[in-house]
Amino acid sequence: MSMDGVVEGVWGEAASLPKRLTAAGVACLLRLLLGLSALWCAAGASVASEAVRQTGSAASARGSQDASATRERDVMQWIERVQSAPCRHAYTGTFVVLSASGAMSTSKIWHACDERHRLERVESLSGHRRTVFRRNDEVRTFSQDTRTVRTDRRDTATTFPRVAWVEGTAVAQYYAATRLGQDRVAGYLADVVWFKPLDNLRFGYRLWSEVDTGLVVKLQTLAPDGKVLENAAFSELDLRAPIEPEQIARQMDMTDGFREVIARVTKTSAQAEGWALRQPVAGFVPVSCHQRTMVVADAPSKVLQCLYSDGMTSVSLFVEPFDPQRHPDKAHAASMGATHILGQRLNPDAWVTAVGEVPMHTLKLFAGQFQRIR
Burial group, residue 168, by CB count within 10 angstroms (0-12, 13-18, 19+): exposed
Query: What band does 201 get if pLDDT is binned at 50, 70 and 90?
Result: very high
Q: Is it true that the peptide bond before 224 is cis, omega within 30 degrees of 0?
A: no
Mean pLDDT in residue range 162-180: 80
Tell me, what's the pLDDT at 319? Answer: 95
Tell me, what's the pLDDT at 141? Answer: 94
Task: Judge contact between 129 and 144, C-beta under 8 A.
Answer: yes
The CA-atom distances, in angstroms, between 364 and each of 26, 118, 149, 237, 349 are 17, 36, 35, 39, 19
Tell me, what's the pLDDT at 265? Answer: 84
pLDDT digits (tens, 9 = 90+) for 333-349: 998 889 999 999 988 88
| CA angle 14–150–253, rounded 5-degree value | 150
| CA angle 234–354–176, rounded 5-degree value | 55
Please tell me the distance from the alpha carbon of residue 55 to that of residue 124, in angstroms, as a whole number.
32
Compute the mean pLDDT over every residue in the chain, rounded to the nearest whole number: 78
Indicate if the alpha-carbon torsion angle 107, 24, 22, 344 is positive or negative: positive
pLDDT digits (tens, 9 = 90+) for 8-62: 332 233 333 333 333 333 333 333 333 322 222 222 222 233 333 333 343 344 4
Choose between 146 and 160: higher pLDDT: 146
